[in-house]
């Protein structure tokens, strides 16, 4: 009986995640409290009451445990493979990295960042690195903190789910000022105009929110190497569009 109840709450949680974008945690709790009253009805022995799916499928669901913010099981991130499109590592809300991926900034990308920073400095602007590599676990902490403050729906517009952050690639950096006003500063304008010369693109451009899944982030740059960054910049497309996966 206990196992059956646990199963029904897992199945319930799955349904919630696929069907709505509001507070999943809240609804899950609601679901839990409803389930908590069920043992009282233990007098009616109906083994098939919880679900119509087979016991094998149920066992799989139990093994998967609770769902991650992406709606996938946490176990998914132990074995998922990184996705490369035309040799470019792609990480977004659809494509994830395994939990263990990455241990720091990519050396080539970091060197390019330093060149960009000194060029900006010579032009009279300061572009300090505000954020570089982030591990899966750190991103998880960040995301949960944002959700606690802003709720799931809002947090999803600006914070990546663990396993889905481009910062975990070691190829992405937040520079200057992590604020929308940064776009209107001299440093922000300089970055938008020159990042590609050093191998970077503004990864989440204005007007592409529906494609990237994120709000405009004038401070978040992604290293692609000068050749490709130049092409993406000239195309006026965001990375998903350029790679043909939008």
Residue tagged 């690639």 (tokens): 169
CB of 173 to Zn ion, least distance (A): 7
Instruction: Choose between 174 and 240: whose C-beta lies nearer to Zn ion.
Output: 174
Residue 42, classified by CB atoms within 10 Å of its CB into exposed (0-12), middle (13-18) or buried (19+), is exposed
The nearest distance, CB 246 to Zn ion, in angstroms, is: 20
55 vs 215 by CB, closer to Zn ion: 215
129 and 110 in contact (C-beta within 8 Å)? Answer: no
DSSP 8-class letter at 82: P
The angle that helices 107-122 and 186-194 make with each other, rounded to 10 degrees, is 130
Neighbours of 243 (CB within 10 A): 16
Interface residues with Zn ion (CB under 5 A) are: 174, 220
Percent composition of the chain: helix, strand, coil (DSSP 3-state, to 5): 50, 10, 40
- Least distance (Å) from Zn ion to the CB of residue 165? 8
Q: Which helix (H) or strand (E) holds 121?
A: helix 107-122
Output the CA torsion 60→49→11→20 (10° steps): 160
Region of residue 142 (phi > 0: left; psi between -120 and 50: alpha; otherwise: beta): alpha
Residue, CB closest to Zn ion: 220
Minimum CB distance to Zn ion smaller for 99 or for 220: 220
Q: Which of 105, 140, 217, 240 is catalytic?
A: 217
Ranges assigned E (strand) in 39-128: 83-85, 88-90
**Is 217 among the residues known to form the active site?**
yes
CB 68 within 8 A of CB 76: yes
How near is the Cβ of 178 to Zn ion at its closest, in Å? 8
User: Which is closer to Zn ion, CB of 61 or CB of 229?
Assistant: 229
Minimal distance in Å, beta carbon 131 to Zn ion? 6
Nearer to Zn ion, 99 or 203 (CB): 203
- Residues annotated as catalytic (active site), given as ranges: 217
């Amino acid at each position: 009986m206990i196992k059956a109840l646990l199963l029904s709450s897992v199945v319930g949680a799955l349904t919630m995640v696929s069907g709505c974008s509001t507070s999943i945690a809240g609804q899950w709790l609601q679901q839990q409290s409803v389930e908590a009253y069920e043992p009282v009805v233990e007098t009616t022995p109906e083994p098939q009451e919880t679900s119509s799916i087979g016991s094998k499928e149920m066992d799989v669901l139990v093994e998967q445990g609770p769902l991650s913010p992406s709606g996938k099981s946490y176990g998914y991130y132990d074995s998922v493979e990184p996705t490369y499109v035309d040799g470019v590592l792609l990480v977004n809300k659809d494509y994830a990295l395994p939990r263990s991926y990455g241990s720091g900034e990519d050396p080539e990308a970091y060197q390019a960042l330093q060149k960009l920073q000194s060029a900006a400095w010579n032009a009279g602007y300061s572009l300090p690195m505000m954020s570089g590599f982030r591990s899966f676990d750190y991103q998880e902490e960040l995301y949960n903190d944002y959700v606690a403050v802003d709720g799931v729906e809002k947090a999803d517009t600006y914070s990546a789910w663990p396993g889905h952050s481009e910062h975990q690639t070691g190829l992405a950096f937040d520079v200057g000022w992590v604020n929308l006003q940064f776009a209107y500063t001299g440093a922000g304008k300089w970055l938008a105009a020159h990042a590609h010369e050093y191998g970077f693109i503004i990864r989440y451009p204005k007007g592409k929110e529906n494609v990237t899944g994120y709000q405009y982030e004038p401070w978040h740059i992604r290293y692609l190497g000068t050749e490709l960054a130049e092409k993406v910049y000239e195309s006026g497309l965001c990375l998903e569009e350029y790679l043909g996966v939008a």
